Structure 1
Amino acid sequence: MKTLIIGPSWVGDMMMSQSLYRTLKAENPAVEIDVMAPAWCRPLLARMPEVSKALPMPLGHGALAIGERRQLGKQLRQEQYQQAIVLPNSFKSALVPFFARIPIRTGWRGEMRYGLLNDLRVLNKAAFPLMVQRYVALAYSKQRISCAEDIPQPILWPQLHVSQTEIDTTTAEFSLNNNRPVIGFCPGAEFGPAKRWPHYHYATLANSLIQQGFQIVLFGSEKDREAGEEIVHALPAELQPHCHNLAGSTKLDQAVILIAACHAIVSNDSGLMHIAAALNRPLVALYGPSSPDFTPPLTHDAKVIRLITGYHKVRKGDAQQGYHQSLIDIQPEQVLAELQLLLTSKESR
């Protein structure tokens, strides 16, 4: 079967969607999977062996552009897809498979997509509490899967692979000191500082780790660079050379390789957190208003730290500099203790 996936538009969601691709391949090894997603996704999709082709979605995240989507669909008719699976819940995301006249068009009901999808699923959120469960359920018929407990276990979690040659080349390119093991920090997060652990806590943790013989690498996009600089400059001057702010300086694929080179990762709830999980890096994941009950890191080598319960739709924190109090209250000493336990467990294997 030749299958088109309309993929998500966020890093974390794209990583979790790999569980669907792995499940489709496990159920039918002959399936050919193409994924249509924003062009920036290509470095991730290229590391997913289940994906045959990454098709760029040229339209922006918020653009309806019905005419352009109709043209995209017409162009895809020659591919003769037998099924499309639409992962985003928006109306517009279901248009291309409809215009492509793909016979089976599967997805959750979302924004009133009757007719656009003809294999329509009605989501009971309580029955599928995790996003990854909602993705994987679409690999099966709706008669077979009515709740998360019906999904064959274990769910195939995302897995990215990086070679040692890639690690050696890329760490040399960024002049990382081979004499000090690397701990990666991912201090950014979408929607601003409300989902970020405070930079001064990251700096305190970096201080302790550098004094223990580690070097710190800060990952993120260009918009996270300022937060990285705040961490570096909060360190004593003599320790700053051991803290490298690469936010905005790496392409996505370079960041994936460098995260694979890390002995461990400390991260906010972010897309890079899900990449670290897929690379099986020991991971301390810090949550505030967003909830690990919906999008936890999918790895056995993670420790989630969160001091509140429930989901809080917060775009700006309630404390100084826009941080959320629940993240301010997570102390560096607690994070360091959990990180050391993860590293000790890794070394004992």
Structure 2
Amino acid sequence: MIDIDPQEIRRILVREVSWVGDAILTLPALEALDRLFPQAEITVLANGWVSGLFAGHPAVDAIIAYRTEDLHRGIRGRVRLARELSSDGFDLAVVFPNSLDAALIPWLARIPRRVGYPTDGRRFLLTHPVPLQTAPAGRHQVERSLDIVRALGGDGGPSLRLPVTPEARESGERLLRDHGVDPADPCVALNPGSIYGSAKRWPVERFAAVADGLVDQRGARILLIGSAGERPILEQVAAGMRRPAVNLGGRTDLSALVGLLERVRLLLANDTGAMHIAAAIGTPVLAVFGPTDAEATGPLGGGARIVREPVPCSPCLLRECPIDHRCMTRVTVDRVLHAALEVLDTNRGSRPPTRSRGSPARGSSAAFLDRDGTIIEDLGYLGDPAKIRFIPGAVEALRALLRAGFRLVLVTNQAGVARGLISEADVRRVNDGLAALLAEAGIPLDGIYVCPHHPEYGPPEYRRDCDCRKPKPGMIQQAVRDLGLEPARSVVIGDHVSDAALARAFPGMRGIMLRTGHGAEQWQKIQNGELARPEHVADDLRAAVEWFLAQAGGRDVVGSHPA
């Protein structure tokens, strides 16, 4: 580990990468850096076209635009920038890009500590080079920048979080209003281009066919997005459609793009920067992959899904295909349309549903609840809603939470999807059935969040070390953003130690494990010293809620006793 005393670091300069998608993948490293140096001010130096991504991010205190097209062009421009930086008193420079130029600026600015990979012949420009290790197969690119911060003593996982500023939200809404898109329209965005090269592009006529299918079968309003240079591709998609589409090519700056992507129900894209933006703000993504490595550069987040056709020559990482583009042409319209419909339908249950009990103020308290073994009997990988059986006392417990003012959010791992034992549609049917049964009992759910992944099993779109699989906090983080919740006044309850452990990621949150479901086995392992004891262990959901409400000062009693 690099020996740098955090107490000596007051100002940090972070040299950012130049591509939008790559910049998104450095966000976990920025958050880890902020945790490692909580007293330091972090300034990001980024090219103008990506600098807007960092506006409003809680880990970033200031942004400097690296204007290589005018102010910082050439040697004189770089010297000018270095002089400006040298007067700002930076104690540490963290260099994420691998280029010589990226390390040159901090060196010219005489920043005393300069950390980064010794690539591109720049070892002499760094005071603290980080050894570059060969990445094992399946390791995601997000880990590259995280490893730099880990070398400094930081920690953190690949959990993406891109806050949407009010300005970005207003820019996106204004753009849609100007193009006649109603706020109630169920919008789906298509991003069929790719600056990287034609090899990454799924055929435009197939994008058009899928778009028509989404209009016909789900009444979607199709938005075509891309840069000004990609507008001809968008025009080809629009011309190939039977239904009208809104062509926004070249009309979205970065702020408007972020706001627009927050608004849509699905982004269908190639491997692009927009794909990573959408995943980072929690918008469901369906990405078509061909020549690039889905395991290394695929979208992160619980709502992301990949469609690809395994062929021997993929991933080749080529910009242009020298043969027949089989990795893309073998991905059929029916396959992508089916996946898009499934994501849209699953998303109905995994995003905040329309509520009939008003719109609580932001900062509401919530109960984050596991499903199987907590609310309903654990029957294995459940795919049939007719088999739902409530655990005795669970409905009364949920009603008590509701009366006490807590919003109810389901967070459930469903690795049976990755294992091929059930489908996402099966999960949606069970969740919809559960929500309907609870609604009949006067207990509305505010949101249902599902992780279908597994780190070791399934095809690439499901076999991933994601940020949403409990005990990682991705699902709760997404719910907090979607619903405006206050974690410090909330509780998480489930039948695994990993459920209760989720609370550790959120200061002030309470964590409770139940002895129902898998809880009996988990409790035995706790007794044997194999697992750490959670904050509290209760016999069932009813007992857990009674204990929690007593701790929180609630007055509801649900007729049981905590363990």
Query: TM-score, normalized by length of structure 2?
Result: 0.56
1:77 maps onto 2:86 in alignment = yes
1:102-151 per-residue CA deviation (whole Å, 9 max, x = no partner) reads 11100011111122011101211225932211101112336x5xxxxxx8
Give the gaps of 5 or more residues in structure 1.
145-150
Deviation at 1:153, TM superposition (A): 5.1
The one of 47, 50, 58 equivalent to 1:49 is 58
1:37 maps onto 2:50 in alignment = no
In structure 2, what residue type is equivalent to 1:94?
Answer: A
The 3 A distance-change label for structure 1 pair 290 and 266 is: same
Q: SS in structure 1 opposite 2:107?
A: helix
The one of 313, 318, 325 equivalent to 1:314 is 318
The one of 276, 279, 291 equivalent to 1:277 is 279
- Report the equivalent of 1:132: 142
1:148-186 per-residue CA deviation (whole Å, 9 max, x = no partner) reads xxx845333232325565654442133213453001111
- Report the equivalent of 1:101: 110
The 3 A distance-change label for structure 1 pair 216 and 126 is: same
d(CA) in 2 for partners of 1:185, 1:76: 40
Q: SS in structure 2 opposite 1:314?
A: coil
1:303 maps onto 2:305 in alignment = yes
Deviation at 1:343, TM superposition (A): 2.0
d(CA) in 1 for partners of 2:114, 2:161: 24
- Report the equivalent of 1:252: 254
Give the gaps of 5 or more residues in structure 2.
1-9, 350-447, 449-563
1:339 maps onto 2:348 in alignment = no
- 1:132-171 to 2 correspondence within 5 Å? 132-141=142-151, 152=155, 154-163=157-166, 168-171=173-176
**Structure index of larger Rg:** 2
- 1:187-336 to 2 correspondence within 5 Å? 187-212=192-217, 213-236=219-242, 239-240=243-244, 243-308=245-310, 310-318=314-322, 324-336=325-337
Q: SS in structure 2 opposite 1:122?
A: coil
1:237-261 per-residue CA deviation (whole Å, 9 max, x = no partner) reads xx22xx1111112222112111111
Q: SS in structure 2 opposite 1:189?
A: coil
Query: TM-score, normalized by length of structure 1?
Result: 0.89
Deviation at 1:37, TM superposition (A): 1.2
Moved more, 24-33 or 287-296: 24-33
Determine if contact 2:170/2:259 at 8 Å carries over to the other structure: no
Q: SS in structure 1 opposite 2:257?
A: helix
The 3 A distance-change label for structure 1 pair 166 and 250 is: closer
Moved more, 223-232 or 68-77: 68-77
Deviation at 1:57, TM superposition (A): 1.0
Identity of paired residues, percent? 28
1:68-112 per-residue CA deviation (whole Å, 9 max, x = no partner) reads 323321221111111101111111111110111111100011111
Moved more, 310-319 or 8-17: 310-319
In structure 1, what residue type is equivalent to 2:254?
Answer: L
- Report the equivalent of 2:189: 184
Greater relative CO, 1 or 2 (CA 8 Å, sep 6+):
1
Q: SS in structure 2 opposite 1:336?
A: helix
Moved more, 334-343 or 205-214: 334-343
1:4 maps onto 2:23 in alignment = no
In structure 2, what residue type is equivalent to 1:15?
Answer: I
Deviation at 1:11, TM superposition (A): 0.7
Determine if contact 1:170/1:257 at 8 Å carries over to the other structure: no
Q: SS in structure 1 opposite 2:61?
A: strand
Deviation at 1:59, TM superposition (A): 1.8
Total equivalences in the alignment: 334
1:245-297 per-residue CA deviation (whole Å, 9 max, x = no partner) reads 11112222112111111011111001111111111111101111011222121
The 3 A distance-change label for structure 1 pair 2 and 156 is: farther
